[in-house]
């Protein structure tokens, strides 16, 4: 442990992390990955399905389940107080205190994660009962109202059940729950999957606004590279369990070094390009992936 008077510039450092899926044939899902997330920034993590993005996110928050095994590496959380926390060494009560209070997560398909037989308020309040037992009932109710307002949902929806909410509203509620304990890092795993493009844009604008207002950092995971280039401060490209390259959004877009990244950039259709150009680029990407 080390402390300093000023909050560190970084909020999380991952060093040489390796995660395997054990079985008849071991799969190296995360293979010697190192990355740094800076305080208040959006770091975009892009890559094809199955490249290890979600496994990396779960490993960072110690949420992996067998047969996943962390073989080696280090995950250090740099608290704003100046204390460095070895996340992989946490267990039991210490780990529960760390999750959601320091690093929270919006899971892939999280809009379907609300309990269908419990009201929205009960699910939000349960966070405070668990992590802030000293809060009084009236305080929990007021905080739940404030959280819904924060993500653009009418506080009257606290009495609603999941089936009474649209997909976008359910996703906003999940984001509100993730922000309930004022985390310093928010991990978002495909947060706009299955939402229509208009709702996706609303959710993304909300994330950008909240990040600006509250100052938390975001690890934003998706296979949609153009989206990441638009919203991220920095972007990392992942393939087959490895980080191929990382840099600012401008560096990745204008000066990508890795051939896979350049091909991935060309695989998305242009508003002005010929349809045949896009098809040929897609074929080149398939050939690159096959190699």
Model's pTM, two decimal places?
A: 0.89
- Please tell me the predicted confidence (pLDDT) of residue 228: 92
Bridge partners of 222, per DSSP, are: 46
CA 151 to chain centre: 17
Q: Are residues 249 and 263 in the same domain?
A: no
Is residue 146 domain-resident? Answer: yes
Q: Are residues 115 and 85 in the same domain?
A: yes
Which residue bears the tokens 């107080």? 81
Q: What is the pLDDT of residues 185-228, one digit of tens each?
A: 999 999 887 788 888 889 899 999 999 999 999 999 998 888 89
pLDDT bin (cut points 50, 70, 90) of residue 57 is: very high
Q: Are residues 283 and 203 in the same domain?
A: no
The DSSP line for 12-81 is EEEEEEEEEE-SSS-EEEEEEEEEEEETT-EEEEE--TTSSHHHHHHHHTT---TTEEEEEEEEEEE-TT
* pLDDT above 70 as % of the chain: 90
pLDDT bin (cut points 50, 70, 90) of residue 159 is: very high
pLDDT bin (cut points 50, 70, 90) of residue 88 is: very high
Distance CA 76, CA 248 (A): 22
Give the number of domains in the chain. 2
Q: Are residues 275 and 186 in the same domain?
A: no
Is residue 5 domain-resident? Answer: no
Q: Are residues 207 and 276 in the same domain?
A: no
Q: Are residues 173 and 263 in the same domain?
A: no
* Domain containing residue 265: 258-291
The CATH number of the domain holding residue 125 is: 3.40.50.300
Q: When comparing pLDDT for 240 and 268, which is higher?
A: 240
Q: Are residues 237 and 167 in the same domain?
A: yes
Is residue 265 domain-resident? Answer: yes
Is residue 17 domain-resident? Answer: yes
């Amino acid at each position: 442990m080390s402390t300093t008077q000023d909050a560190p510039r970084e909020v999380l450092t991952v060093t040489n992390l390796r995660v395997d899926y054990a079985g008849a044939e071991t799969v190296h899902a995360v293979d010697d990955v190192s990355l740094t997330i800076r305080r208040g920034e959006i770091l975009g993590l892009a890559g094809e399905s199955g490249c290890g993005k979600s496994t990396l996110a779960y490993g960072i928050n110690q949420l992996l389940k067998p047969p996943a095994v962390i073989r080696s590496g280090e995950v250090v959380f740099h608290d704003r107080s100046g204390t460095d926390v070895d996340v992989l060494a946490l267990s039991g009560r210490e780990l529960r205190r760390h999750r959601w209070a320091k690093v929270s997560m919006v899971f892939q398909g999280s809009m379907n994660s609300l309990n269908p037989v419990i009201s929205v308020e009960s699910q939000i309040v349960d966070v405070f009962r668990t992590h802030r037992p000293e809060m009084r009932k009236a305080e929990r109710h007021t905080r739940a109202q404030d959280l819904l307002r924060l993500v653009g949902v009418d506080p009257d929806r606290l009495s609603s059940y999941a089936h009474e909410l649209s997909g976008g509203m359910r996703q906003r509620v999940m984001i509100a729950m993730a922000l309930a304990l004022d985390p310093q890092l928010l991990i978002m795993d495909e947060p706009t999957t299955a939402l229509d493009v208009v709702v996706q844009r609303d959710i993304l604008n909300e994330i950008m606004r909240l990040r600006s207002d509250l100052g938390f950092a975001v690890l934003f995971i998706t296979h949609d590279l153009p989206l990441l280039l638009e919203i991220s401060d920095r972007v990392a490209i992942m393939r087959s369990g490895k980080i191929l390259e990382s840099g600012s959004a401008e560096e990745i877009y204008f000066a990508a070094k890795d051939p896979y990244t350049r091909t991935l950039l060309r695989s998305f259709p242009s508003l002005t390009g010929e349809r045949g150009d896009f098809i040929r680029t897609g074929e080149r990407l398939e050939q690159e992936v096959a190699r």
